């Protein structure tokens, strides 16, 4: 079982005099669990998500984000591992290294990238993940691995060596078809450019598809439910449940609305206020928030203080 552990996290906007946004977030998400993170606008939910993934616009001023892995999370790594390889301080790592270890961020507003097809992008992401894991777990030993290209100039500009990278085209297509079917996505998606011209709903579906392909240990989904009609909401929910049920992914779902929680039932619900987790509880907490709003949580939190 993997665990994402956030302790006393403080962060601010990374510029001179940048606003302090996170003021001591504590949160633990285990793989296989579904957590909902709720709270009013500006309470720091999206910032928490971005900081976990390593967004350069925020500076962490205090606290830590740790990722603990266990045997099954590193089953693909075939070198001897020492204890360090199971415990990672994410704040020391680049966004792509965090991704390689199994942290996935589903964006509220996914980037649109012209000219890069979905197929090309996903294959490259999968291959990059494999390469990066090799480097992370094997350290410097792996460096010689890609120096076999010296023979390159013996080939013509129109031909090339047969080696096709880590994941073959056929294998890739197979994985992809399977995941797309699960999400009820049209195959035509794959020839389109990454998010370019996608509707709001298609973008969100695409985020879940990417999570399914990359098989993260913890997926942080930032308002994955906003802008979805009811049919898409059901597709997306099905995808999220499958992430948990079939891959054992831990889900941290950031949302404004009770609606998606009807389809993706959370094990834990947290309420963020003023840059902190002010209250945690079970699924019933979400219902209470839906009915009563956030004010009572604030009052309770202040009363405690």
The site for other proteins (CB under 8 A) is made up of 53-57, 94-96, 98-100, 104-105, 107, 110-111, 113-116, 119-121, 124-126, 128-129, 132, 149-150, 152-165, 169, 193-194, 210, 214
Rounded to whole angstroms, how far apart are CA atoms 182 and 274?
38
Closest CA to 281 of 294, 272, 270, 266: 270
Query: Alpha carbon of 43 to those of 11, 12, 156, 267, 276: distances in Å?
Result: 13, 13, 58, 22, 8
- Residue 156: CB minimum distance to other proteins, A: 3
- Residue 64: CB minimum distance to other proteins, A: 20
- Residue 45: CB minimum distance to other proteins, A: 17
Closer of 158 and 305 to other proteins (Cβ) = 158
Closer of 214 and 277 to other proteins (Cβ) = 214
Closer of 7 and 117 to other proteins (Cβ) = 117
Q: Which residues pair with 104 in a beta bridge?
A: 219
Closest CA to 152 of 137, 163, 138, 139: 163
End-to-end distance of the chain based on CA atoms, in angstroms? Answer: 34
- Residue 304: CB minimum distance to other proteins, A: 35
Closer of 222 and 225 to other proteins (Cβ) = 222
Cβ neighbours of 94 (radius 10 Å): 11
- Residue 125: CB minimum distance to other proteins, A: 4
Closer of 22 and 289 to other proteins (Cβ) = 22
Query: Alpha carbon of 234 to those of 35, 228, 241, 259: distances in Å?
Result: 18, 9, 10, 10
What secondary structure letter does DSSP report for 117?
A: B
- Phi, psi for 240 (deg, rounded to 5): -65, -45
Q: Are 238 and 124 in contact (CB under 8 A)?
A: no
Burial (CB count <10 Å: 0-12, 13-18, 19+), residue 146: exposed
Rounded to whole angstroms, how far apart are CA atoms 138 and 144?
12
Query: Alpha carbon of 85 to those of 69, 73, 79: distances in Å?
Result: 8, 11, 11
Closer of 26 and 135 to other proteins (Cβ) = 135
- Residue 123: CB minimum distance to other proteins, A: 9
Closer of 85 and 135 to other proteins (Cβ) = 135
- Residue 111: CB minimum distance to other proteins, A: 4
Q: Are 151 and 161 in contact (CB under 8 A)?
A: yes
- Residue 192: CB minimum distance to other proteins, A: 12
Closer of 194 and 278 to other proteins (Cβ) = 194
């Amino acid at each position: 079982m993997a665990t994402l552990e956030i302790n006393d996290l403080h962060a601010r906007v990374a510029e001179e005099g940048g606003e302090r946004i996170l003021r001591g977030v504590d949160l633990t998400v285990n793989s296989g669990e579904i957590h909902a993170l709720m709270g009013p606008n500006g309470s720091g939910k999206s910032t928490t998500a971005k900081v976990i993934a390593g967004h350069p616009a925020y500076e962490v001023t205090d606290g830590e984000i740790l990722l603990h892995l266990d045997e099954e999370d590193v089953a693909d790594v075939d070198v001897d591992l020492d204890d360090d390889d199971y415990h990672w301080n994410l704040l020391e790592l680049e966004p792509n290294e965090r991704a390689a270890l199994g942290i996935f961020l589903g964006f509220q507003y996914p980037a649109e990238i012209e000219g890069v097809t979905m197929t090309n992008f996903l294959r490259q992401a999968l291959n990059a993940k494999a390469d990066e894991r090799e480097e992370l777990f094997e350290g410097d030993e792996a460096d010689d691995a890609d120096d076999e290209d010296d023979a390159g100039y013996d080939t013509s500009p129109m031909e090339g060596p047969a080696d096709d990278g880590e994941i073959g085209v056929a294998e890739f297509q197979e994985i992809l078809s399977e995941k797309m079917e699960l999400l009820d996505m049209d195959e035509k998606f794959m020839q389109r450019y990454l998010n370019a011209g996608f509707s709001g709903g298609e973008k969100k579906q695409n985020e879940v598809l990417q999570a399914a392909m990359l098989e993260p240990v913890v997926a942080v989904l930032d308002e994955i439910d906003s802008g979805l009609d009811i049919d898409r909401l059901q597709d997306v929910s099905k995808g999220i449940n499958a992430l948990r049920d079939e891959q054992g992914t831990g889900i941290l779902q950031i949302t404004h609305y009770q609606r998606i929680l009807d389809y993706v039932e959370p094990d834990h619900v947290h309420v963020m206020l003023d840059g902190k987790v002010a209250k945690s509880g079970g699924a019933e907490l979400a219902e209470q928030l839906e009915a009563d709003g956030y004010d009572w949580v604030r009052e309770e939190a202040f009363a405690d203080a």
